[in-house]
Amino acid sequence: MKKIRGRLILLIAVALISAIISLPSFPSLYEPLPDWMKLMLSDRGLALGLDLQGGVHLVLEVEEDRALEIAVDRSKKALEELKTDSELPLENVTREGLSRLVLTLASGDEAKTNVTQEMEDGFPGFELSDSSGTTVTYDLRDDEIERIKNSAINQALETIRNRIDEFGVAEPLIQRLGRNQIAVQLPGVKDPKRAKDLIKKTALLEFKMLDESKVALELPPQVQKGQEEQVRKDFEGRLPEGSEILFENIIADNAEDNFSLPYLIKKDTALTGDVLQDARVTIGEFNEPIVSLTFDGRGGREFERLTGENVGKRMAVVLDGTVYSAPRINTKISGGRAIIEGTFTTNEANDLAVVLRAGALPAPMKTLQDLTVGPSLGKDSIEKGIRTMLIAGCLVLIFMIVYYRLSGVVANFALALNLLCLLGALSGLNATLTLPGFAGIILTIGMGVDSNILIFERIREELRLGRPVRLAVDGGYEKAFLTIVDSHVTTLITGLALFVFGTGPIKGFAVTLCLGIAINLFTALVGTKVVFDLFNRKKLEYLSI
């Protein structure tokens, strides 16, 4: 009896703990609980996946070639700064193609020696490919090209994850697919367009000086939406070298009245957003939302130098090729702070601050797949999944009672305990339940019954040999033990392989399958055995099986 009591207490404790842990998954049961009890429980229970509650599914591709161009352009800018700061004997630096730098030197062999030494020391990713006269050509090494591409994809993955975390999506799925693709699933998103814009925005923040030459005066004062490219075509061939036309979007009260302001902008970036330390939304003097920027130490010094050298000139704040504001610099700005003003809403200002804080994507991304799953589909999936599970469960329960009588009732008890423990485990792990997860639960029901059938058939064999009920039950469990463990372990190995190598819904199926198998071993070999041992306390002469 002492041995039975210990296993009975364990069984009751497991059932109670599973029931308590699963409470947050049922808001109607969780909300009325006292505060002290809520503090002991997780505030999140079992989460529903994209296929059950709707949301956004994206497959994005990182433009690796553009990442190479950006990396080489940064090296080009660093060389130009060295030319100014350390009097490096360079006359010009240009980029050719994706990964080549062409350096034009001052005359003399000493200039070539100095530049070559500087490239070897400061830019080890490049290798000399040609040297003729006053021109030297450097190409990125193959291993450096591979590193830049791989780093761009990993950085994009991390940047997207940071943005989604700040956006507040519960249980997102963000993972790398193949060589240069990223899959993003956002269950339960209420505003899919805003979420997609936030993810896909490159967030390349640049401070550029305006070109205030005569051509700038010829630009139209404003442009109707959709006519921006026509303006660029009209001025094609007339723009000063190193300048381009960018636009600021002006939002009117009536969407049909929206227009754009054209600016002639110098292509060279004076300062980039990689020196930002923080970005916050504040309220301006006219009660409009503005984004307040804080630079790090280096950025603060560069911004102070930039504004000090250009007092009286206009500087554009450009994000992803769109001008947000183009204020005139009235005085040198120190303290490492700046603001972005624009005609945007509070939500747009918040999203802008999020992408600036999370960091810019290392390169633009193309959308390969863009799906928005409606909540009606999720509701329909849930109802069908629950209906299927109930039908399968009821059929199994009825079969066990009809075929195994009282012992079938014991098996059904083990099945109910199995489902309760599985729900508790999924809730405790804050797992995400998907439609394939429902399939895993239904498969667990079948495996749970299968274990009990093996045990019951062994008990029947023992009873046919004339063994007493107690010995027949013990013998049945003993002979079925290895068979049950073997079948469960092999299935568990398969489930673990699906979890490790699978993606998305496959992982959801693998989680419920693995947990169900582990729990089923406990309920089949311990749960039902405790019940039979309790029956045998009265030394049964007949077992309903």
pLDDT digits (tens, 9 = 90+) for 292-326: 888 888 788 888 888 888 888 998 888 878 888 88
Domain identity same for 246 and 388: no
CA angle, residues 481, 487, 490, in degrees to nearest 5: 130
DSSP state of 536: G
d(CA 163, CA 60) in angstroms, rounded, equals: 15
- Tell me what the pLDDT averaged over the chain comes to: 81
Same domain? For 118 and 267 the reply is: no
Quickly tell me which residue has 């600021």 as its tokens: 248
pLDDT higher than 90, residue 495: no
Domain endpoint, select from 144, 159, 188: 144
Q: Where are the alpha helices (DSSP H) in 225-336?
A: 228-234, 297-309
In angstroms, rounded to a whole number, what is the distance separating the alpha carbons of residues 329 and 312? Answer: 5
What's the whole-number mean pLDDT along residues 205-233? 89
The Cα–Cα gap between 354 and 291 comes to 10
Nearest CA to 123 among 153, 149, 150, 93?
A: 93
Between β-strands 322-325 and 243-250, what pairing exists: parallel, antiparallel or unpaired? Answer: parallel
pLDDT of residue 418: 87
493 and 440 share a domain? Answer: yes
**Tens digit of each residue's pLDDT (9 = 90 or more) over 36-51:** 777 777 666 777 777 7
Whether 106 maps to a domain, the answer reads yes
Residues 35 and 110 in one domain: no
pLDDT score for 165:
74
pLDDT in tens, 522-542: 888 888 888 888 887 777 677
Query: If we measure between CA atoms, which residue out of 158, 175, 174, 156 comes closest to residue 70?
Result: 156
| Domain assignment present for 194 | no
Average pLDDT score over residue span 418-423 = 87
DSSP 210: B
φ and ψ at residue 53, rounded to 5 degrees: -125, 5
For residues 47 and 170, the answer to whether their CB atoms sit within 8 Å is yes
Q: Domain check: are 88 and 21 in the same one?
A: no
Q: What is the pLDDT of residue 375?
A: 61
Asked if residue 113 belongs to a domain, the reply is yes
pLDDT at 262 over 90: yes
Instruction: Give a yes or no: residue 46 inside a domain.
Output: yes
Residue 265 pLDDT more than 90? yes
Which residues, at least 6 apart from 495, have a Cβ–Cβ distance to it below 8 Å?
A: 510, 513, 514, 517
Same domain for 379 and 443, yes or no, is yes
**Rounded-to-integer distance, Cα 186 and Cα 170, Å:** 8
- State which residues form the domain around 519: 2-52+374-538
Same domain, 408 and 297: no
Question: For the domain that residue 45 is a member of, what is the CATH number?
Answer: 1.20.1640.10
In this prediction, residue 86 has a pLDDT band, given cuts at 50, 70 and 90, of: low
Number of domains in the chain: 3
Q: What's the pLDDT score for residue 317?
A: 85
Spell out the residues 6+ positions from residue 63 whose beta carbon is closer than 8 angstroms to its own. 363, 364, 365, 366
Tell me the mean pLDDT in the region 119-136.
83
Strands 432-433 and 322-325: unpaired
User: Of 185, 59, 186, 51, whose CA–CA distance to 509 is shortest?
Assistant: 51
> Is residue 99 located within the same domain as residue 13?
no
Question: Contact 282/268 with Cβ under 8 angstroms?
Answer: no
Q: How confident is the model over 103-117, as pLDDT tens digits?
A: 887 766 677 777 788
Residue 178 is given by DSSP the state: T
152 falls in which pLDDT band (50, 70, 90)? confident
In a domain, 341, yes or no: no
Give DSSP secondary structure letters for 221-257.
S-EETT-HHHHHHHTTTTSPTTEEEEEEEE--SSGGG
Q: How far apart are CA 331 and CA 14, in angstroms?
A: 70
**Do 416 and 528 fall into the same domain?**
yes
Q: What is the DSSP string of 118-157?
A: HHHHH-TTEEEEEEETTEEEEEE-HHHHHHHHHHHHHHHH
For residues 148-152, give the mean pLDDT.
85
**438 and 385 Cβ atoms separated by less than 8 Å:** yes
104: buried, middle or exposed (CB in 10 Å: 19+, 13-18, 0-12)? middle
Residue at which a domain ends, from 96, 127, 144? 144
CA pair distance 151, 157, nearest whole angstrom: 10
Q: Do the Cβ atoms of 352 and 338 come closer than 8 Å? A: no
CA distances from 237 to 215, 226, 230, 234, 268 (A): 11, 21, 14, 9, 19
31-40, 409-418, 472-481: least confident range:
31-40
Contact call for residues 349 and 370 (beta carbons, < 8 A): no
What is the CATH classification number for the domain harbouring 319?
3.30.1360.200
Strands (E), 425-492: 432-433
pLDDT in tens, 329-382: 888 888 888 887 766 778 777 877 777 776 667 777 888 888 777 665 566 767
CATH of residue 100's domain is: 3.30.70
Together in a domain, 419 and 476 = yes
Cα(56)–Cα(521) distance, rounded to whole angstroms? 38
270 and 378 in a single domain? The answer is no
Q: For residue 160, tell me if it sits in a domain.
A: no
**Is 265 found in the same domain as 131?**
no
CA 339 from chain centre, in angstroms, equals 29
Structure tokens at 248: 């600021």
Residue 103 lies in a domain: yes
Q: What is the average pLDDT across 269-291?
A: 80
Structural domain includes residue 296: yes
Q: What is the pLDDT of residues 171-214, one digit of tens each?
A: 677 888 887 888 888 887 777 787 887 787 766 778 899 998 88
Q: What is the arithmetic mean of pLDDT over 81-89?
A: 67
Block residue for tokens 């070639």: 65
Residue 2 in this model has a pLDDT that exceeds 60:
no
The helix/strand/coil state of 112 is helix
DSSP code for 525: I
What is the per-residue pLDDT for 244? 92
Residue 203, pLDDT score? 67
